[in-house]
Amino acid sequence: MRIAQLAPLSETVPPKLYGGSELVVSLLTEELVKRGHEVTLFASSDSVTSSRLISCAPTGLRRAKDIPATRWPAYELKSLLALESMQDQFDIVHNHMGYSALPYLRNLKCLSLTTNHNPVKDYCADIYLKFRELPFVAISNAYRRLNYPAELNYVATVHNGIDIGGAVDLRSQRHNLLFLGRICPDKGTVEAIEIARRVGVPIILAGKVDDNDREYFETLVRPLLAQPDVEYVGEVSAVEKAKLYSSAIATVCPINFDEPFGLVFAESLAAGTPVMALRRGAAPEVLDDGKTGILSDTVDQLVSRFIEIETMNRFTCRETAKLLFSKERMADEYEALYYQLLVNQQEKILYEGCLT
């Protein structure tokens, strides 16, 4: 199969530090190449891939200090124009860029598929609804339920996959809690620090601070970093991230929004580390309450149930991640979906031919 993967341009593929959807795109692309497909990746020029790379920006745009955000749409447009000019080379185009690609996808001669990695917000909902007939994939049943389930043409739900990696020392001594992700109100950074203080366990914070979250960080988070048992290590690489997961008692995720999937949940489980999360979005799909994590409705409940972490089996956490959230499983599902869309297209062509 000839497959185009249309990546977001805000980060390199795979991301050098933070970047959820870019990591998913990379893992899917590399797995499809392994299976013998002819894959073309539209991404930044510093992306690393075994597929054919079509360079659409000099680097991940968030790290390009000489490219202001006002110019980012120009690079997205260049990417879409390149895709349009090459469309005859593909059987299917898999869009991970979001709503900006939809007008181009409708006019392509080849098939397209869009994975919605981010919630459909009010400011862009009308765009999605304008192209509602295009095939969409949800990354969780919760996402599908909360993002125009009756209006958009969801053809499947495919959970994100992760690289389970090599052996993990599940018997190692662990001494701290971990918060990993964007430092922002939605992810509950302040609440994570509160939980750690109340259960009397040190916490390590790792993640990026976006410009629009800078005030939150400076006014609410930074003062808490003066506490002796709170350490902020900034953004981390994949290798550093794996070490943080495997040295934590639990990963704390007191999310204040409906998480579309939660790569942090799956990555933590792969390291044998249970997760403490508020019951929002896809958290109940990824975590098995009482077995691979604690799901509660309030911070107070998470604190009161912290003792349950000691009873959770790290082997069970890791095996759950292997079974449900591997990159191989994700590729299996997307590959089958590509083939099904192609079969549907051929059946439609045959049916229309019979009518004429």
C-alpha Rg value of the chain to the nearest Å: 21
CB-CB contact of 278 with 317 (8 Å): no
**Helices 314-324 and 263-270 sit at what angle, rounded to 10 degrees?**
130
Report d(CA 216, CA 196) in Å as an integer.
19
Burial class (CB in 10 A: 0-12, 13-18, 19+), 124: middle
Residue 245 shares a structural domain with residue 345: no
Residue 319 and residue 181 in one domain: yes
Domain for residue 316, yes or no? yes
Same domain? For 108 and 190 the reply is no
206 and 236 share one domain: yes
Q: Please check whether residues 145 and 188 belong to one and the same domain.
A: no
Total domains, the chain: 2
Residue 166 lies in a domain: no
Q: Does residue 167 sit within a domain? A: no
Q: Which residue pairs from 83-91 have beta carbons closer than 8 angstroms and sit at least 24 positions apart in sequence?
A: 83/4, 83/6, 83/42, 83/54, 83/108, 84/108, 86/4, 86/40, 86/54, 89/2, 89/4, 89/40, 90/2, 90/3, 90/4, 90/40, 91/1, 91/2, 91/3, 91/338, 91/342
Same domain, 81 and 140: yes
User: For the segment 157-207, what is each residue's pLDDT rounded down to a tens digit?
Assistant: 999 999 997 778 788 888 899 999 999 999 999 999 999 999 999 999 999
pLDDT digits (tens, 9 = 90+) for 110-153: 999 999 999 999 999 999 999 999 999 999 999 999 999 999 99
Cβ distance 174 to 268 under 8 Å?
Answer: no
- Cβ 322 vs Cβ 316: under 8 Å: no
φ, ψ (nearest 5 deg) of residue 252: -105, 120
> Is the residue at 119 inside a domain?
yes
Are 267 and 281 part of one and the same domain? yes
CA angle 265, 164, 23 (to 5 degrees): 70
Residue 201's pLDDT is 97
170 within some domain: no
Instruction: Using the structure block, give the residue that is written with the tokens 């190449």.
Output: 33
The pLDDT value given to residue 351: 55
| Angle, helices 327-355/20-34, rounded to nearest 10 degrees | 70
The percentage of residues in the chain with a pLDDT greater than 70, rounded to a whole number, is 97
2-61, pLDDT tens digit by residue? 999 999 999 999 988 777 899 999 999 999 999 999 999 999 999 999 999 999 999 988
The pTM of the full predicted model, rounded to 2 decimals, is: 0.92
Residue 171 lies in a domain: no
Kindly state the DSSP code that residue 71 receives in the 8-state scheme: G
Same-domain status, 196 and 316? yes
Q: Is residue 233 part of a domain?
A: yes
The helix/strand/coil state of 14 is coil
Looking at the fold, whether 236 and 105 belong to one and the same domain comes out as no
Domain harbouring 317, CATH code = 3.40.50.2000
pLDDT at position 15: 86
- Amino acid 110 reads C
* Centroid of chain to Cα 258: 14
Same domain membership, residue 135 and residue 7: yes
The pLDDT assigned to 238 comes to 85
Residue 11: domain span: 2-161+326-355
Question: What pLDDT does residue 354 have?
Answer: 66
Looking at the fold, whether 123 and 180 belong to one and the same domain comes out as no
Asked whether residue 238 is assigned to any structural domain, the reply reads yes
Are residue 227 and residue 271 in the same domain, yes or no? yes
